[in-house]
Structure 1
Amino acid sequence: MSPLQKLQNFLANNSLSKVVDFNLSTDKLLALDFTASNTELTTEILANTDLFSNWVNEKLTKNAAKYGIGGYGEHRTIYSRSIHFDTVEEPRRLHLGTDIWGRAETPVYNFYDATVHSFKFNDNFGDYGATIILKYQFDDLILYALYGHLSLASLIGLTEGQFIPAGKQFASFGVKEENGYWPPHLHFQLMFDMEGKIGDYPGVCQFSKRSIYLENCPDPALILKHTFTSALP
């Protein structure tokens, strides 16, 4: 049985806690598109984090949405804003996680009992900023979840191997100076294999390596549907 099948089987028979606060009866999600088809995001907006944040906030306000959401498997043009995603042979543009766009200091909760695998302040322009990776044991399957673009306060007091119970708030969305200079949001990504990495794992890959990375990084909607239920776009 593949890791993905094991994950699907486990989730079909177990309940999860939330990742962020969401009331299905009152709150709304807005799918945000960051591909080349989104012509509203000009080079000027992408180059200025404040303008970019204003664009996101205006979209959420106009649509009465609590969060913007999306991005898994999306080929994004927005990474051209940072040399962090450029390589000599091919730039990295394929997004491997799901983003939840909201306000700074939005609480982040653990969806299932876990331990801290690692954490780090990835302080490059366009990087994750404050990052926490949790390790989950689902029967005989090990799954990792990366929480990126957090507040620096989220890292205070953490130790590797520390137990984080299901339902506990353990982090919050960071401001631009702490989250890699992005509009406030959570990058939520799943991995079957950390490949020896500590406090970091690529959240964006080269398109030519899409199948390799997506096999190791399953769709976070598998987890998030337990939080957002039918609200997922």
Structure 2
Amino acid sequence: MSRLTQLELYLKDHPEHVSPLVDFDSQTDKLFPFDFSSSNQELSPQTVADTSLFSSWISNKLQVNNCRYGLGGYNERRMLYSRSELFNNSEEPRRLHLGVDIWAEAGTPVYAPLSGQIHSFRFNDAFGDYGATLILEHDLDGLIFYSLYGHLSLSSISGLQKGAIVKQGEKIAEFGIFSENGNWPPHLHFQLILDMQGHEGDYPGVCQFSEKLKFLGNCPDPDILLNRTFS
């Protein structure tokens, strides 16, 4: 049985071990499904390249649709990464998104969906990078995996210690502003990782399309946890 199958079965059998990632009330909140694939013709390259314009576009979409949160992105092939040289530094640019993005206002609280410990954290400050980043390690009856939280506020990683215990449902972070989150509209990049492969405070959130199978095999769909947040 694969580790992914083990993880899926464990979470199915123990739903009480999973808590919402953000504050979301299914009775009063609506969720906007963002599509940043190449089929989305609404966003111009000029808008995406300008963080303020891009942020205004996101905020307007949420406002006119009466949504506090937007969601999307796993296994999505996106052209918007052309805005940063971070993703264009090879013969094949990185365009495939490996996590899920939750779009909301800066300062939005983030909670630990599972108990665990702090694996690592870092301020990845390049334009287009994660900005303030936190990675948790989880141990579910011997099944070890990791969750990554990118585009946080700097205060979210201030004073942290590797190995510190994090309780399920504990507030662990907040969405960051432009200068703290890699120069993106405020949002959370949430990613699951089976094997950190030696990375500390960072792990690719976008890969080359030719490496799709390898990276998606190591980064399962976060919906196996998020379905407890947005249901």
Taking structure 1 as the reference length, what is the TM-score of the superposition? Answer: 0.97
- 1:198 aligns to 2:204 (yes or no): no
Give the secondary-structure state (helix, strand or coil) at the position aligned to 2:147: strand
Residue in 2 that maps onto 1:11: 11
State the one-letter code of the partner of 1:90.
E
Give the secondary-structure state (helix, strand or coil) at the position aligned to 2:212: helix
Superposed CA RMSD in Å reads: 0.6
Paired residues in the alignment total: 229
CA offset digits 1:134-161 (Å, max 9, x no partner): 0000112111000000000001110000
State the one-letter code of the partner of 1:199.
G
Structure 2 CA distance for aligned equivalents of residues 58 and 143 of structure 1: 36
State the one-letter code of the partner of 1:175.
I
Structure 2 CA distance for aligned equivalents of residues 206 and 47 of structure 1: 21
- 1:76 aligns to 2:87 (yes or no): no
Structure 2 CA distance for aligned equivalents of residues 115 and 62 of structure 1: 39
CA offset digits 1:68-104 (Å, max 9, x no partner): 1000000001000000001322000000000000000
- 1:167 aligns to 2:160 (yes or no): no
Structure 2 CA distance for aligned equivalents of residues 57 and 7 of structure 1: 35
Where do 5+ consecutive residues of structure 2 fail to align?
none
* 1:47 to partner: Cα distance: 1.3
Q: Percent identity?
A: 55
* 1:30 to partner: Cα distance: 0.6
Structure 2 CA distance for aligned equivalents of residues 227 and 117 of structure 1: 23
After superposing on structure 2, the runs of 4+ consecutive aligned residues of structure 1 that deviate more than 3 Å are none
Give the secondary-structure state (helix, strand or coil) at the position aligned to 2:95: strand
* 1:18 to partner: Cα distance: 1.1
- 1:38 aligns to 2:49 (yes or no): no
The 5 A counterparts of 1:62-141 are: 62-141=64-143
Give the secondary-structure state (helix, strand or coil) at the position aligned to 1:226: coil
Structure 1 CA distance for aligned equivalents of residues 179 and 41 of structure 2: 27
Give the secondary-structure state (helix, strand or coil) at the position aligned to 1:92: coil
Where do 5+ consecutive residues of structure 1 fail to align?
none
State the one-letter code of the partner of 2:130.
Y
State the one-letter code of the partner of 1:119.
F
State the one-letter code of the partner of 2:117.
T
State the one-letter code of the partner of 2:126.
N
